[in-house]
Amino acid sequence: MTSLFVRKLEVFAPLSREERRAVDALHGQIVTGKAGDDLIVEGERPDHVRLLIAGWGYRYKLLPDGGRQIMAYLVPGDLSDIHGFLLRRMDHSIGLLSDAIVGLISEEAMTTLLAAHPRVARALCWATLVDAATLREWLANMLRRDPFERLAHLLCELRARLHMVGLVDGQAFDLPLTQAEMGDTIGLNAVTVNRVLQRLRGEGLITLKQGRLVILDPDRLVALSGFDPNYLHLDGKR
């Protein structure tokens, strides 16, 4: 069965059977984690690249006042960083939003793969560029959109990313995020997030129950949020 990691890479480059096997063999040691665990903490030296096989993770920074800013979500098929082992110290932390299965990839294994399979290296490079583009979009989302647009835009993005790896069922997908975590992502307090969620429900745009989101009117949600998936480069395959 094609792994979610392979499925993601094939958005950006078609892979041969040999290349798929090489990618699937990459994960090395497999570990499990619980929601709330940290995979690595700011200031630690990274010794592996981490592949999220199942579950959700996130990048974050803790601020001096105790606040938290979430800077990225990691969904199944995502790597923590292609060249993370080059850093002397982490400049942010990576935690888990849900119970998860994680593959630990050594520097040697990653370097060997990139040298032996240039097309895989190209796809991984493209995926890294998309990560950077997503961070820029999040910055624009926080600074230039109102609270309703911010949250609606985030939901549209997650639907697009999860659809890419086959984790959307119709218009439904798992969303293991608390209102506080949503707020720490888009710069809102939990009370405001709750108010926006109530409006999204009231206008017949979504349902959200027990961590399962259903987008009832995707076209209208896209229009109201101003979501343009161009920055995700989902048509990147050549």
Rounded to 5 degrees, φ, ψ at 72 are -170, 150
Domain boundary, last residue among 117, 150, 182: 117
Q: Are 217 and 205 in contact (CB under 8 A)?
A: yes
Asked whether residue 136 falls in the same domain as residue 218, the answer is: yes
For residue 236, the model assigns a pLDDT of: 56
Domain residue limits at 214? 128-232
Could you report the per-residue pLDDT of 181-207, keeping only the tens digit for each? Answer: 999 999 999 999 999 999 999 999 999
Number of Cβ within a 10 Å radius of residue 224: 17
How many domains in the chain?
Answer: 2
pLDDT in tens, 222-234: 999 999 999 999 8
Q: In 86-117, which residue ranges form alpha helices assigned H by DSSP?
A: 107-116
pLDDT along the chain (238 residues), means of 10: 85 93 89 96 92 97 94 95 80 96 93 94 93 96 96 98 95 97 97 98 97 98 97 74
Identity of the residue numbered 122: R
Distance in Å from the first CA to the final CA of the chain: 23
Q: Are residues 112 and 132 in the same domain?
A: no
Tell me, yes or no, whether 237 lies in a domain.
Answer: no
Question: Is the residue at 39 inside a domain?
Answer: yes
Query: Is 132 in the same domain as 113?
Result: no
pTM for the full predicted model: 0.94
- 90, two tokens: 């982490």
Distances 181 to 38, 88, 159 between C-alpha atoms, Å: 15, 28, 17
In a domain, 60, yes or no: yes
